[in-house]
Amino acid sequence: METYDVIIIGAGPAGYTAGIYATRFGLRALIIGKEPGGLANEAYEIDNYPGFAPISGIELMTKFKEQAEALGAGLVPFADADEIERKREGFVVKTADGKTYGGKAVILAMGSKKRKLEIPGEETFRGKGVAYCATCDAAFYKDKTVAVVGGGNSAVRAALLLTEHAKKVYLVYRKAKENMRAMPSVVKKAENNKKIEMIFRAAPKEILGSDKLETVVFEQNGKGLHLKVDGLFVEIGRIPETGIAKKLGVALDEKGNINVRKDMSTSVEGVFAAGDITNGSNGMEQIVTACAEGAIASETAYNYIKK
């Protein structure tokens, strides 16, 4: 079994940054990432990460990965860490393929997964019109009509991307416009795009079709609203990937995020956390905040190992 000073589980912005800083502290670090780049890969354009002109998520995450590896961090890509065992001398991390890795400390940075609508027809038409990644699937809807459900940055950005392919894009949000969580500058771009029609106070209720999606039924002001579309992109938020943390006994908050102190330490000694899975940034799920938490977690892990 290979042993390291710190094992970082998750290869998104928080995980890569934790790896970069861990190596700068002289620690032997290993990053285990089920999906290198994480959800950041799905951003077709990032224009608010300091120091970069608009850049795609995949490009930015590739730079993160290259820097972490160049500085000496080990990387096990496409590996699913499914168990952490506490030992007297530290921790043993087991992956789904049966491999084990030892570490004196662990940083949890698994990120989150897309939240589903949980309505009739969603699973039936998944991959047959229902999609969760505009960056991945936008090109399949050239000259077609699509809808995006959600009111955050990811939803509005997905709608903007889809206008480069689709002839018509509905952006549907269950609350009023003033309740949208997206940044005003992003919303303004959508409002100025002639291909986008914004619909408010409409909640998705059912997805209908035969061999593929044909109609999405919404409830708006107590009445049914039927939108005939070729595709539906779901962008209604994320769920923290904290399954492995629960098994280890790490304390979570009422939303399912890992409770962290200011130094990114958790309720389990030697275990730290960073990124979208924590409650450290008050729900501000941004690449820049994930990076900050990853850096802090590495310093705290270094101090823990040193003493």
Catalytic residue IDs: 133, 136-137
Query: 242 and 253 in contact (C-beta within 8 Å)?
Result: no
- Is 15 in a helix, a strand, or coil? helix
Our measurement of the distance from residue 282's CA atom to the centroid of its chain's CA atoms, rounded to an integer in Å, reads 16
Q: How far apart, in whole angstroms, are the C-alpha atoms of residue 248 and residue 267?
A: 10
Q: How far apart, in whole angstroms, are the C-alpha atoms of residue 305 and residue 14?
A: 20
Query: 264 and 296 in contact (C-beta within 8 Å)?
Result: yes
> Which run of H or E residues covers position 104?
strand 100-108
DSSP annotation string for 239-307 = EE--HHHHHHT--B-TTSPBP--TTSB-SSTTEEE-STTBSTTTT---HHHHHHHHHHHHHHHHHHHH-
